[in-house]
Structure 1
Amino acid sequence: MNLSYTKKVFPSGLKVVFRRMKSPLVTLNLWARVGVKDEEPVQIGISHFFEHMVFKGTTNYPGLELSRQVQAIGGNINAGTSLDTTDFYIVVPYNHWEKSLELIIDLVRNPLFDPIEIEREKKVIIQEIHIDEDDPEEKLAITLYHEVFSGTPYERSILGSKDTIAHLKRENFICHQESFYHPSNLTLVVCGDLSENQLFEKIDLFFKNGGKPLQNLFNSFPPLPKVQRKRIEINMDIHHHYGAIGFLGPGIRQDDFCLLKLLSIILGDGIDSRLNARLREREQLVDSIHTNFSFYQESGIFSIIFTFANSDPKIIEATIQEECELLLNYTPQDIEINRAKNLLLSGFYHSIETTLGSAELLGRLDTIDTIDTIFRYLKNIQNIQTKQIIDVLKKYLDFNFAISVIINPEDHR
């Protein structure tokens, strides 16, 4: 596999990652090292709100003009906020990459933060919060994260709360920009078929003056919790049952994250996985079940998610626990391990087939760890042995510390 790239740090502190790819499209993906974990408690949700506000007009492109400019050159523009990061991307035909570079830099450097638009957008975000509150899958995920990461910034909702959003002012956004959008806190990833030298020369013109150095406003991450087993039941106006079991896991800087990705596939990815084979196909306790390991800079969460109609959730949970414990005695066969390795590698290769997929992978890794994690990850996957899977199962999937969340219809008895 050829995943060659160039990384350069400019005098302003800006980090640029370039991957040359034979494609008619170019992706420019700008990453900031700021997410929910870096927010003050009274401003939870500001990173996501900031992401919204930069699209409401800049000094050079007021109103929706910047989005119109992107559309006029055949491009797509979007953004995202996570627990650790905020990023913005533009995907365009390769002959318009220079204009796109100008636009994506203007987006985060010169936002207007119009007070009238801020007040309008508050209503939009509060409506998003209401929608999530009414969506059982979102409610399930938010509750699970809040409990598993209890006592740390990762327990927070990316959207914030109605109260924190309502109190944000223009000066809060200006301070957020000055604190976290200095070039030394940014990574720009560019993937496409263009000249590396030309790209770096163009970027250098935009960042001759980096401005004031970034102040150290990042809060230290508190010790991770060790929560005793807990079970939460929520009633909602729905017609189906939703459930989840969550375990605290490692962050990206620990090699165990790779083992948990593989364990997740063995347990609950596809019809041949152990939980699917037993709970859905054989015993028909659930309508669907899958597992996932999501990793972040400081920690991770291993989740088992399921839906069901008439089964007893306590029996479902007990069966899941029994199946996980059976894995200790009936260890994964070579065919299971090879299947999991193949699916992991296939998913990785698919993710880097496009310029956007490549930019998102390289950018996220550079922001929360290092791009070299890719090569460590690929090597670790190929060398995983059965004993390592069993060890990581014992270490992290301890049901004495499991968080269970069940969402039932309101008329459920």
Structure 2
Amino acid sequence: MRVTIEPHTEGILNADLGSTVRRTVLPSGVRVLTEEMPGQRSVTIGFWIAVGSRDEADHQHGSTHFLEHLLFKGTQQRSALDIAAAFDAVGGESNAMTGKESTCYYARVLDADLTMAVEVLTDMVTSATIDPAEMETERGVILEELAMDEDDPMDVVHERFGEQVMDGHPLGRPIGGTPEEINAATRDDVFAHFKRWYTPGELVITAAGGLDHDHLCRLVTEALGKSSWDISVPGSPAERRVGHEELIPVREGVETITKPIEQAQVILGGRGGSASDPDRFALSVLHAVLGGGMSSRLFQEVRERRGLAYSTYSFSAAFTDAGHFGLYAGCLPEKVDQVTGVLTSELERIATEPVTEEELARAKGQLRGATVLGMEETSSRMSRLGRAELVRGEFVDISDTLSQLDHVTAEDVLCVGRRMAESPRAVTVVAPS
């Protein structure tokens, strides 16, 4: 079953296999989506803001990720230690993630501790002080994080590949910004970014596990009433990001980044589909066949038959209006050309030769298992609700997802492979000089 989520849709979106998905728009414009899972003793709750690195103004690059750090550093009511201790005292987990198109602050706690989680996360998202002294301390932490990422050649090749296949587009920018941008960031710029995006209409709260939807809505309303936001003024949900397919330029050819490392990292790829691409299920099957496991074509050809790499796989990244795909392998520096040739031939083969019935069945089985097993975690279901609300504006239950996968044919996979092979091609290499 799939349900289109209209801006003011309320009530039950789905009731399947014992769980119930509901959505409520509070008078302030805050949206609350839950999946009640009877028998669960834990809850994962996320506070989502539809702002990512692509949304930053020229003088605010890195601000979205900077805020992810700063919201844990204190509010008008709680210190950074208070926030950390609140979750530690109940054995809970709290963290955040910043992406190209959204930011999420989340916690996993026992069902009995949901009230605390709502109060603390609401306080962080609505009333962070963005203290100048704390910002200076955290600037150093973020610079260390960027340095750590720069020391990881796999992080580097994926980051540079993203820049190459999203040439000049905001989606190609690094999520965390650059050291130069972080050093140049001012408290005024980061605070302005915070005030622009952290508003009731932009806030989406999703939760899954042992909870009651109406009770959670009451908890959120009470917590918002104690916050610095004025929720007495009626509001509406912010409009979703418009998903017009965009042909982002690809910087074709081979680009090499030199680093003092022992193993080269190689990615070959190009332009892919958006998060709402009608061929996304066929693409999932294609990646399972091409590079999704030990029986995949890449693993068998690159590692098992030729011994050219220890790790090899394929992947895709999909955003509201664009996406990209890649084939990866790590190899000895002197094998880069040979590995690139094998990656190229495997990309062209899946675009010209239909997958076998055995490969198709194995890929579908792999995806079915991963989908169902993944949904046993409350965090996965919480994230699924966030993506449904912010990205697609549509909730798709597990049964419909499995049905869509089952209907993928070998011809569907061939067509998607042809699209990939016809895309302008980029090759990114990280290797020693």
TM-score band by shorter chain is over 0.9
Kindly provide the amino acid, as one letter, of the partner of residue 386 in structure 1: A
Q: 1:309 to 1:100 in 2, by over 3 A?
A: same
In 2, Cα distance between equivalents of 1:217 and 1:94: 31
Q: Tell me if the contact between 1:136 and 1:407 (Cα under 8 Å) persists in the aligned partners.
A: yes
Which of the numbers 261, 282, 294 marks the counterpart of 1:271?
Answer: 294
- Indicate whether 1:392 and 2:408 are aligned: no
- SS of the residue corresponding to residue 20 of structure 2 reads coil
Aligned residue in 2 for 1:149: 166
Q: Tell me if the contact between 1:38 and 1:219 (Cα under 8 Å) persists in the aligned partners.
A: no
Aligned residue in 1 for 2:270: 247
Q: Tell me if the contact between 1:43 and 1:165 (Cα under 8 Å) persists in the aligned partners.
A: no
Q: 1:165 to 1:216 in 2, by over 3 A?
A: farther
Q: 1:259 to 1:27 in 2, by over 3 A?
A: same
Q: What whole-Å deviation, never above 9, does each CA across 1:239-284 have from its counterpart, x for those lacking one?
A: 1111111211111121122222211110112221112111211122
- SS of the residue corresponding to residue 372 of structure 1 reads strand
In 2, Cα distance between equivalents of 1:261 and 1:311: 32
Which of the numbers 63, 80, 84 marks the counterpart of 1:46?
Answer: 63
Q: 1:172 to 1:226 in 2, by over 3 A?
A: closer
- SS of the residue corresponding to residue 322 of structure 1 reads helix
- SS of the residue corresponding to residue 254 of structure 2 reads strand
Q: 1:178 to 1:217 in 2, by over 3 A?
A: farther
Aligned residue in 2 for 1:27: 44
- Indicate whether 1:366 and 2:389 are aligned: yes
Kindly provide the amino acid, as one letter, of the partner of residue 397 in structure 1: A
TM-score by length of 1: 0.92
Matching of residues 212-251 of structure 1 within 5 Å: 223-227=246-250, 229-251=252-274
Which of the numbers 84, 94, 100 marks the counterpart of 2:117?
Answer: 100
Query: Offset at 1:159?
Result: 0.8
Q: Tell me if the contact between 2:165 and 2:251 (Cα under 8 Å) persists in the aligned partners.
A: no
Q: 1:201 to 1:219 in 2, by over 3 A?
A: closer
Q: What whole-Å deviation, never above 9, does each CA across 1:307-356 have from its counterpart, x for those lacking one?
A: 11265322222222222323345311112111111211222222221212
Q: What whole-Å deviation, never above 9, does each CA across 1:86-135 have from its counterpart, x for those lacking one?
A: 00111111111111111110011111111011111111111212222221
- SS of the residue corresponding to residue 71 of structure 2 reads helix
In 1, Cα distance between equivalents of 2:161 and 2:333: 22
- SS of the residue corresponding to residue 55 of structure 1 reads coil
Query: Offset at 1:171?
Result: 2.3
Kindly provide the amino acid, as one letter, of the partner of residue 248 in structure 1: R
Aligned residue in 1 for 2:219: 202
- Indicate whether 1:347 and 2:366 are aligned: no
Aligned residue in 1 for 2:345: 322
Kindly provide the amino acid, as one letter, of the partner of residue 231 in structure 2: G
Aligned residue in 1 for 2:96: 79
- SS of the residue corresponding to residue 5 of structure 1 reads strand
Which of the numbers 271, 280, 304 marks the counterpart of 1:281?
Answer: 304
In 2, Cα distance between equivalents of 1:361 and 1:315: 40
Matching of residues 65-144 of structure 1 within 5 Å: 65-144=82-161
Q: Tell me if the contact between 2:329 and 2:339 (Cα under 8 Å) persists in the aligned partners.
A: no
Q: 1:314 to 1:42 in 2, by over 3 A?
A: same
In 2, Cα distance between equivalents of 1:243 and 1:257: 25
Kindly provide the amino acid, as one letter, of the partner of residue 12 in structure 1: S
Q: Size of the alignment, in residue pairs?
A: 409
- SS of the residue corresponding to residue 68 of structure 2 reads helix
In 1, Cα distance between equivalents of 2:379 and 2:343: 37
Q: Tell me if the contact between 2:66 and 2:142 (Cα under 8 Å) persists in the aligned partners.
A: yes
Kindly provide the amino acid, as one letter, of the partner of residue 347 in structure 2: C
In 2, Cα distance between equivalents of 1:204 and 1:228: 48
Bigger mean CA deviation after superposition, 125-134 or 326-335: 326-335
Which of the numbers 158, 161, 166 marks the counterpart of 2:183?
Answer: 166
TM-score by length of 2: 0.88
In 2, Cα distance between equivalents of 1:173 and 1:328: 46
Query: Offset at 1:37?
Result: 0.8
Query: Offset at 1:225?
Result: 2.1
Q: 1:143 to 1:251 in 2, by over 3 A?
A: same
- SS of the residue corresponding to residue 304 of structure 1 reads strand
Q: Tell me if the contact between 1:17 and 1:190 (Cα under 8 Å) persists in the aligned partners.
A: yes
RMSD: 2.3
- SS of the residue corresponding to residue 56 of structure 1 reads coil
In 2, Cα distance between equivalents of 1:405 and 1:328: 21
